[in-house]
Amino acid sequence: MDLFSAIDTEPVRKHMEELAAELDRLNHEYYMNDRSMVSDEEFDHMMRELQDLERQYPELASPLSPTKRVGGEVNKSFRQVQHRFPMLSLGNTYSIEEIEGFEARTRKLLDGEQFTYTCELKYDGVAIGLTYRHGQLVQAVTRGNGSIGDDITTNAKTISTIPLRLHGDYPDDFEVRGEVVYPFEAFDAMNRQREADGNEPFANPRNAASGSLKLQDSAECAKRKLLFCMYFMMAPDGIELKPTHLGRLDWARQMGFKVQPYIQECKGINEIKAFIDHWDKARWELPFGIDGIVIKVNQTALWDKMGLTAKSPRWAIAYKFKAERVSTPLESISYQVGRTGLITPVANLAPVWLGGTMVKRATLVNADFIAKMSICKGDSLFIEKGGEIIPKVVGVDMEKRVVGAMPIKYITHCPECGTELVRMDGEAGHYCPNSDGCHPQIIGRLEHFVSRKAMAIDTLGPERLELLYSAGLVRNIADIYNLKREQLIGLGTEVAASIQDKGADNMLAAINGSKQVPFERVVYALGIRYVGEVGAKKLARYFKNIDALMVAPEEELAQVEDVGEVTAHAVCEWFAKADHKVIIARLRAAGLQMEVRMLSGDNKLAGMTIVVSGVFEHFSRDEIKADIEKHGGKVSGSISSKTSYLLAGEKMGPEKQKKAERLGVKVISEKEYLAMVQ
Ligand code: IVH
């Protein structure tokens, strides 16, 4: 940088610093103190200004800038790092008697000492450790196996309740531990969006929090609205912390951490039990999930005195809540018809409160499930809700069974179109075979076809598809490509807003755009039973084009990796139908991709099966797998005698190495791999 520009940027640097400080302050007020000091627009305006300046003057951008909250950096792979202090777990129990035992043992061990306990929530999320030096966040690491975890610093910086710089007085070098949780409201919203996009929803907030921290794109993580609940602080020898756990948490709050207020100092077992009792019931009123209560000795000097067992400290214990269970009358059973014709029985229950929500329905899975539980008409069912969000039927409340109750008779005909149901040998589910005449199947197939992972025509939501169907414009997936502008304009009623000029244009543009969607996704979009995203990819890559796939014999289909006999049969059956042949011909004529587009054109790894393990320098795990496939090789998850190479990155597990040696599989490094393909 020459002198002129050095002088020139000084006011810019100052302005950037001021903006960053102000944004930090506003963030702190908003997330820690629930106070909005400016309007959202003003905040966004300042944030954008700082982002623009950082783009223009990257050398002046701070690694701890509030813009990092918005994310944008991409994690290639998560570096594995050693924890400075091992991340211990706690002894845990579901029994109050064992908590009494813990308390009695502690009293005995600390005979003659003045001490108290703290009771706090056991947050149900993902444990992470945050290292701060000179008041700045330097590293965030997941628990991993307790000694080594993943470096997730970039994603952690997007969590608004993790301070990037600390306030006031703080230790010069220390670590903070806590749990990253996914608050219910944000979790529900995210799952609804995932379903709308055709993605699998997360089973529970814990899994979702864990998945979010491992996202490659930190901007995606920023959207997840995760919450960090701080619960522990530690420092290397020579750095003084406060002498009580409560004092440390208070101190952390002053530094800018979000410390949940639900924590209590308890003198003995009665107060501990009262705290547990209270939260066992009140836990569903919290905005996030907890799975128990953690009890710790408050005076930290006594921790060393009490010491550790094999893997957990003696000065703390976790009480875990039992899954909540209620019994409620089964009022009726509805039978839902999916896009493949699969019937799902659903129990309509007398509404009952369970784990903070009103439960009215729960799946009964299939006919076998109902038979196994021997559910009868008029029964009351036990419903349970543990860590999962979705309530489960776990049994029949036999005390409420009436004498002479009749077992449930499973339906024999489709509730939607009246066709007789079929159940194939070896399958648990019943199907409606009337795929071309059964309304929910037709609409379901259209919805699947346009979903994100398939053709991604996002201007065609369920309401519009229903509209186009009832107007007689779209009866099957190929009809979508025959839609004309003049047919669309004005379509709709008060229920679904009428389609205007712009809406029609956007719709047609999205339909047109979908013609570039790669062949493997076209195969997935067809909605062939059992052919999921992975199966479709494997089929597309194996057969390379639709003509080969259409005429492939069942035995050959079954040879494709991840495609079993059942799927092979379904694929054959699908392409054998005359109607489907017409649909394929029409989709081809419309210009959809009907063959794989070769990216590299080389087949250097043709016929080879490679197992990938460990961490790589030039690729993320997904990237290296894609690279192998690009060169015509196959990726497999486990080593067998058929494996050509074990491609070993850093930190590969010793078992893999041993297995490769035992089976005589050659182990190659990333460098050797690159030499092979280049
Ligand atoms: S204290 C050395 N406090 O529960 C003690 N843990 O096995 C450190 N957890 O892995 C843990 N809420 O991830 C503590 N208020 C809380 C907690 C908590 C959740 C998690 C933590 C730990 C596990 C216990």
The CA 436 to ligand 1 mean position distance, Å, reads 54
Same domain, yes or no: 529 and 664: no
> Would 153 be classed as within a structural domain?
yes
Phi-psi region of 291 (alpha: psi -120 to 50; beta: other; left: phi over 0): alpha
Same domain, yes or no: 460 and 511: yes
Residues 6+ apart with CB under 8 A from 10: none
How far is CA 363 from its chain centroid? Answer: 22
More confident site: 133 or 37: 133
**Mean pLDDT of all residues in the chain?**
90
8 pLDDT band, cuts 50/70/90, is: confident
Active site residue ranges: 122
Same domain, yes or no: 307 and 329: no
Same domain, yes or no: 98 and 221: yes
> 505-543 in b/e burial notation, b at 16+ Cβ within 10 A?
eebeebbeebeebebbbbbbbbbbbebebebbbbbbbbb
The amino acid present at 368, given as its one-letter code, is: D
- In this prediction, residue 5 carries a pLDDT of 47
508-557 pLDDT, tens digit each:
999 999 999 999 999 999 999 889 888 999 999 999 999 999 999 999 99
> Would 596 be classed as within a structural domain?
no
Boundary (domain end) residue, out of 348, 383, 400: 400
CB 318 within 8 A of CB 292: yes
Same domain, yes or no: 99 and 38: no
Same domain, yes or no: 313 and 346: no
> Would 84 be classed as within a structural domain?
no
Boundary (domain end) residue, out of 464, 495, 516: 516
CATH at 299: 3.30.470.30
Same domain, yes or no: 669 and 525: no
- In this prediction, residue 493 carries a pLDDT of 66
pTM score over 0.85: no
Task: Phi first, then psi: give them for residue 150, nearest 5 degrees.
Answer: -95, 140
Same domain, yes or no: 531 and 617: no
DSSP 439-495: HHHHHHHHHHHHSTTTT--TT--HHHHHHHHHTTS-SSGGGGGG--HHHHTT---SS
CATH at 22: 1.10.287.610
Same domain, yes or no: 233 and 288: yes
Same domain, yes or no: 184 and 302: yes
CATH at 464: 1.10.150.20
> Would 621 be classed as within a structural domain?
yes
> Would 250 be classed as within a structural domain?
yes
Q: Which uninterrupted H or E stretch holds 29?
A: helix 3-33
In terms of C-beta distances under 8 Å and separation of at least 24 residues, what long-range contacts does 597-606 make, across chains too? 597/518, 597/519, 599/630, 600/630, 600/631, 602/631, 602/632, 602/677, 603/631, 603/632, 604/631, 604/632, 604/633, 604/676, 604/677, 605/631, 605/632, 605/633, 605/676, 605/677, 606/632, 606/633
More confident site: 397 or 322: 397
Distance set, CA 564 to CA 173, 348, 464, 570, 625 (Å): 55, 35, 36, 10, 22
261-289 pLDDT, tens digit each:
999 999 999 999 999 999 998 988 899 99
Range of the domain at 52: 10-70
CATH at 624: 3.40.50.10190
Rounded Cα–Cα distance for residues 247 and 253 (Å): 10
Q: Which of 90, 94, 145, 298 to mutate to test the pocket of ligand 1 (most atoms within 8 A of CB)?
A: 90
> Would 4 be classed as within a structural domain?
no
- The tally of domains found in the chain comes to 6
Same domain, yes or no: 235 and 101: yes
> Would 411 be classed as within a structural domain?
no
Ligand 1 pocket: which residues have CB below 6 Å? 88-90, 120-123, 127, 179, 231-232, 294, 313, 316, 318
4 pLDDT band, cuts 50/70/90, is: very low
> Would 3 be classed as within a structural domain?
no
The CA 90 to ligand 1 mean position distance, Å, reads 6
